Amino acid sequence: MKAELAIIVASSLLFYLIGVLASEFFELSLIFSTGFGLPIDGLLLCLAAFVFSILMYGYAAPLFFLYFGIITKDLLFENPVGAIIQFAGILLGSYAGIRFALYLKKDFEGTDNLFTHLKEFVLPLSVALILCIVAALLIPMLPNSELLYESITGIF
């Protein structure tokens, strides 16, 4: 199970990078917004990562990360700290979905019970949701990439 999890997470990271690079190369500018504000958008993205990670027992997670890389390219280059915090929450939500899917698969096979491992995917999902909401609230207050560059180069 650990090998499956490592493969899915590694391919998700690879697809995220492909999404960011494809968005930059083809100059795509897709925006995800519900109109209810950044915290709701972050919450919905985290839940979408969880759901896509459940599909096909975790193997659909890279498809979500491809889309996530495309829609967060602008945020990554404008506000890298906020993008990294949001990415950590999304990755944790995806991890919880993959764990849920793998335990669900074992439950369907009859080798294990899903509810005995409830805290192994509910706890990461709740932390991921909180992290995504906090990241969405902090993004407007965090320094942009120009200020970070000036503060780093000013040290040397």
Tally Cβ neighbours within 10 Å of residue 117: 17
Average pLDDT over the chain, rounded to an integer: 88
- Distance between CA 121 and CA 131 in Å, rounded? 15
List pLDDT tens digits, range 32-70: 777 888 899 999 999 999 999 999 888 899 999 999 999
Q: pTM surpassing 0.85?
A: yes
Tally Cβ neighbours within 10 Å of residue 12: 28
